[in-house]
Structure 1
Amino acid sequence: MKNFAKLFTDLDRTTKTLGKIKALIDYFQKVSDHDKLWSIALLSHRRPKRTINTTLLGTWASGLSGFPPWLFLESYAVVGDLAETITLLLPEPQELSDESLTYWIGFIRALEPLTIEEKKEKVLWAWNRLDQTERFVFNKLITGGFRMGVSQQLMVKALAKHTGTRENIVAHKLMGNWSPDVGSFAELLLSEEQKDISKPYPFYLAYALEEDVSILGNPHEWFAEHKWDGIRGQIIIRDRQLFVWSRGEELVTDKYPEFATLLDVLPDGTVIDGEILPYKDDRPLSFNHLQTRIGRKTLSAKLLKEVPVSFITYDILEWQGEDIRHWNMLDRRKKVEEICANPHPVLRLSPLVYFETWQQLAEERARARDLFSEGIMLKRKESVYRNGRRRGDWWKWKIDPFTVDAVMIYAMHGAGRRANLYTDYTFAVWDGDQLVPFTKAYSGLTDNEIREVDRWIKQNTVERFGPVRSVKPELVFEIAFEGIAKSTRHKSGIALRFPRIRRWRKDKPAAEADQLENLRKLL
């Protein structure tokens, strides 16, 4: 655990990419293969299952620290993180441990079948054997909130240097259903044999285009297509089996039974990249329709009929069992067009947008919402299919968001480093002469603005409801959002998609904020 705790500290102390990569390489060179595997798993968000209720952890920590429960809770409210609060308040350890990361992962997992008293005895024993940084890591793992300040892409770079393997190969090997419990570090990263036939490829992600599109140069060097508003996915056909993966590395084959017919359409050894999109009567539906299927454990015949899905194909990554990501976009597009040549209700080709000038493309982008599209995707014709988010060859040129001017009426403390500031706000619009809450937002302000708003909230609180403060309805903010839907859960009857603060409207009094009727018209 000492090596992993040191890695945690080293990564936290630098914001430089090369510094983080060096820290990871140094770590991988020191530790056992088992610790390497678990470190990779943790950095890939494969955390061990939580085995203890966090309320119990807080109670035990309060007792061991000697602080009364009310003071422990007050400290927790200020710190904003349970694992850190426990770490700060516990007394010094009685005997330091030298066990590995793998040992402590096994320790945490072995707690699950124990009684509460047995769990308490084990956890107190662990706290008394770990130094402060080790305790913090242990607490993060046991509460299920572990995160480390390094991206998957940086870890891939470090592992590529450590193993002497190309980055795209490492990124591919880390995809899919692997577990530290099965196999070894060598089998995961060094073996040439491909055991998991369901394994997807890392997704290539586009950068947001925030400058004038003309900076991309000659329009004829680019493909353009609509950015469809669904769920990015890959469909894999290997050994005459079908697998459907989402961009979040979730195997979702059972959630989209419509795709089973593709076993009769796509040849063996094919992997295609595209969008899972609600599609009916030969036209796409909004993302709100798809949301009615997301998270459902069972899909009724009625729901499948009301919200059928299609796979809108963008790209091809594997053909006849061969990885063809190194083909240029022109050649991959030709192959995709061949595959999707025959009309099919489930497998559809994402059509290209033909344009001669950037102005023509801007006009097509302007009508994107009518097509339930989020804007335009631009892909350089000579580009290969890379992994992760890379600048230069793929860009997303999204349409401008919807906006509404709203009044802040409630505020709550943030979390983490913002735990002592009010950063979580509830906003309202006018319904006649009444302010009706309709959304929450907590991002979009600068640090200076957050501190200014925090001071104002503390000076203009009307009532307190536990952690929530009701404030004078005076501050107006412009709220940006991507979509709007009906909602029975909210008093306003609406729900926004991806709401965030666009700007603080210091120029506008509360009386001039928007009306609820204007939002209803958007529906």
Structure 2
Amino acid sequence: METFADLVRALDTNTKTNAKVAALADYFRSASDSDKVWTIAILSHRRPPRPVNTRLLRQWAAELAGIQPWLFEESYHIVGDLAETIALIVPPDPQNETPLGTLSDYLNAFADLKQQSEAQKKAYVFKHWPGMTYYQRFVFTKLFTGGFRIGISQKLMTRALSQATGIDEEILAYRLMGTWDPTSVSFKALVLEPQLEEQYSKPYPFYLAYPLEEAPEKLGPPSQWVMEHKWDGIRAQLIFRKKTLFIWSRGEELVTEQYPEFQVLADVLPEGTVLDGELLPFPGGRVGSFKDLQKRLGRKKVSRRLLDETPVILRAYDVLEWEGADLRNKPFHYRNQILNTLLEQLHDSGQRYPLDGSPALEIANWESAALERERSREKHSEGLMLKRKDAPYRVGRKKGDWWKWKVDPFTIDAVLTYAMRGHGRRTNLFTDYTFALWDENKSGERELVTFAKAYSGLTDAELRQIDAWIKKNTLERFGPVRSVTPHHVFEIAFEGIAFSKRHKSGVATRFPRILRWRKDKSPEEANSLSDLKLLIP
């Protein structure tokens, strides 16, 4: 634990990426193999088991510190992070000589502790907290809560591991994907030993579009471009090599097992095929909403019922490899012709496959492209993609050949009703807001009903203004949350909207954020819940 805590301190106190990667690489060269595996698991978001809920941890920390629970809670809301609050509040005990174990010792003990009584869990925590330094206690508690995040992406971790082992980053990215258990896999089997599939299952780096911020006319003659809809799903590559089919998400996650319906394509695709496209929900033979797709995300086992209720297709818009040949340097119109031929053959076979295309439409003029963009929501898309006909398939986000021209977001005027302190540099400010719309209750009276939370969109000066106002206009306190006088109106923007049984309002919005502060409006002039529901497609 001491070595891992030192690593966290080095990562936490360095702002330069190269320094963080160097610290990780040094750790991977010197740590024990079991600690390396657990570190990889933690940094690739495989959470260790959480043996105790945070309510008990807060109680125990207050007891060890000899303070009232309310004072601990106030401190927690100011600090903004539970593990950091506990690390600061629990006093060290120089007489406590409990030896520190390794990282894997603690994490394996957490798994065993989950089955023990509350008294045994408390005794374990009381035994270890006082004998640790600040950083050791911070890291221990972070791991204990199961929510360990230290601002290191999996990509940076893979780069550091590559420096420490001499193994190519792309090979390591494959080896670390999929399902594996840090309690049972060895470092040798996970990282060092070659895996048969890694040489032929690797995806290509994804090509990403830039948002179009100027008028499309600035792109030049429309005859040089094609447009297609920007689908709202999960970007993915479908790979068929060595008679094996793989699905990789844009997040470099191997998700083949989550989408078993695609295995039928192994019988019809030519050897050496890689398709780039969007995983989309397809209930009832039509594109569904992202809310539908969420039912399938992260599922290790997919039931027959779920497959029937929420089938998924790949809407392909590019072919990157064909019959084993890399086509990425070929112009887009050439690749698109091959893709269309494949899709026509599948359609002519008379059998339905979970694969269709995203038509690349010719642009008569930019006015017609704008009209097509306005029809996007009818087709459950987010807008248009504009692609240069002669463009190769590049790597990463490059300007010039691919542009995303998204539709304007939905907007509605809502009233601020609740606020909570932020995190990080915002822990001393109320920056996380809840908004409400007007509705009629059973008595026919107007009341405000919450419908969304948002914490981005205001300037620092506006945040300070609102924070000062909240502190003077609090009606009630509910732990970290304050209800406030309904006074301020904000225009809220969001990307999607759907009916929802989980929300009191009956509506769920996607990516809500503050567009502007409507100082020109009184709360009585805010929109109603019925106005919001009229926006649902």
TM category, shorter = 0.7 to 0.9
Residue 75 of structure 1: how far off its partner (Å): 2.4
Work out which of the residue numbers 150, 153, 156 in structure 2 matches 1:151.
153
Q: How does 1:408-487 map to 2 (within 5 A)?
A: 408-431=416-439, 433-487=446-500
Structure 1 residue matching 2:178: 3-state secondary structure: coil
Match of 2:178 in 1: 176
Match of 2:362 in 1: 354
Q: Distance in 2 between matches of 1:52 and 1:130?
A: 19
Q: Is residue 321 of structure 2 the alignment partner of residue 313 of structure 1?
A: no
Match of 1:103 in 2: 105
Amino acid in structure 1 at the alignment position of 2:206: Y
In structure 2, do the counterparts of structure 1 residues 326 and 15 end up closer, same or farther at CA, with 3 Å as the change threshold? farther
Match of 2:143 in 1: 141
Amino acid in structure 2 at the alignment position of 1:309: V
Q: Distance in 2 between matches of 1:316 and 1:443?
A: 37
Contact 1:177–1:199 (Cα < 8 Å) also in 2: no
Structure 1 portions without partners, runs of 5+:
none
Q: Distance in 2 between matches of 1:445 and 1:316?
A: 42
Match of 2:123 in 1: 121
Q: How does 1:4-403 map to 2 (within 5 A)?
A: 4-93=4-93, 94-95=96-97, 97=99, 99-181=101-183, 183-194=185-196, 201=203, 204=206, 206=208, 208-209=210-211, 211-212=213-214, 224-235=227-238, 256=259, 258-267=261-270, 270-279=273-282, 283-291=286-294, 307-316=310-319, 324=326, 330=332, 333=336, 335-342=338-345, 343=347, 344-355=352-363, 361-378=369-386, 382-384=391-393, 386=395, 395-403=403-411
In structure 2, do the counterparts of structure 1 residues 487 and 193 end up closer, same or farther at CA, with 3 Å as the change threshold? closer
Contact 1:223–1:379 (Cα < 8 Å) also in 2: yes
Residue 48 of structure 1: how far off its partner (Å): 1.3
Structure 1 residue matching 2:344: 3-state secondary structure: coil
Contact 1:96–1:129 (Cα < 8 Å) also in 2: yes
Contact 1:176–1:198 (Cα < 8 Å) also in 2: no
Amino acid in structure 1 at the alignment position of 2:134: Q
In structure 2, do the counterparts of structure 1 residues 23 and 293 end up closer, same or farther at CA, with 3 Å as the change threshold? closer
Q: Is residue 513 of structure 2 the alignment partner of residue 500 of structure 1?
A: yes
Q: Distance in 1 between matches of 2:195 and 2:89?
A: 49
Structure 1 residue matching 2:113: 3-state secondary structure: coil
Aligned Cα RMSD in Å? 3.7
In structure 2, do the counterparts of structure 1 residues 255 and 100 end up closer, same or farther at CA, with 3 Å as the change threshold? closer
Structure 2 residue matching 1:284: 3-state secondary structure: coil
Contact 2:92–2:131 (Cα < 8 Å) also in 1: no
Q: Distance in 1 between matches of 2:61 and 2:367?
A: 63
Superimposed CA distance per residue, residues 235-273 of structure 1 (whole angstroms, 9 cap, x where no aligned partner) = 455676656565567776676564353343335665544
Contact 1:47–1:146 (Cα < 8 Å) also in 2: yes
Amino acid in structure 1 at the alignment position of 2:91: P
Match of 1:510 in 2: 523
Q: Distance in 2 between matches of 1:210 and 1:167?
A: 32
In structure 2, do the counterparts of structure 1 residues 22 and 224 end up closer, same or farther at CA, with 3 Å as the change threshold? farther
Number of matched pairs:
520
Contact 2:434–2:453 (Cα < 8 Å) also in 1: yes
Amino acid in structure 1 at the alignment position of 2:287: P
Q: Distance in 2 between matches of 1:181 and 1:306?
A: 35
In structure 2, do the counterparts of structure 1 residues 494 and 457 end up closer, same or farther at CA, with 3 Å as the change threshold? same
Residue 421 of structure 1: how far off its partner (Å): 2.6
Q: Distance in 2 between matches of 1:57 and 1:279?
A: 44
Contact 1:279–1:307 (Cα < 8 Å) also in 2: yes
Q: Distance in 2 between matches of 1:85 and 1:325?
A: 54
Q: Distance in 1 between matches of 2:189 and 2:226?
A: 39
Superimposed CA distance per residue, residues 256-310 of structure 1 (whole angstroms, 9 cap, x where no aligned partner) = 5643533433356655443232336764233344456668987675x76665432
Contact 2:175–2:195 (Cα < 8 Å) also in 1: no
Q: Percent identity?
A: 51
Structure 2 portions without partners, runs of 5+:
441-445
Q: Distance in 1 between matches of 2:302 and 2:186?
A: 36
Contact 1:325–1:386 (Cα < 8 Å) also in 2: no
Contact 1:95–1:128 (Cα < 8 Å) also in 2: no
Residue 478 of structure 1: how far off its partner (Å): 0.8
Structure 2 residue matching 1:146: 3-state secondary structure: coil
Q: Distance in 1 between matches of 2:172 and 2:500?
A: 44
Structure 1 length normalisation: TM-score? 0.84
Structure 1 residue matching 2:108: 3-state secondary structure: helix
Residue 427 of structure 1: how far off its partner (Å): 1.5
Contact 1:65–1:89 (Cα < 8 Å) also in 2: yes
In structure 2, do the counterparts of structure 1 residues 2 and 466 end up closer, same or farther at CA, with 3 Å as the change threshold? closer
Contact 1:414–1:424 (Cα < 8 Å) also in 2: yes
Contact 2:203–2:248 (Cα < 8 Å) also in 1: no
In structure 2, do the counterparts of structure 1 residues 135 and 406 end up closer, same or farther at CA, with 3 Å as the change threshold? same
Contact 2:476–2:484 (Cα < 8 Å) also in 1: yes
Q: Distance in 2 between matches of 1:170 and 1:397?
A: 35
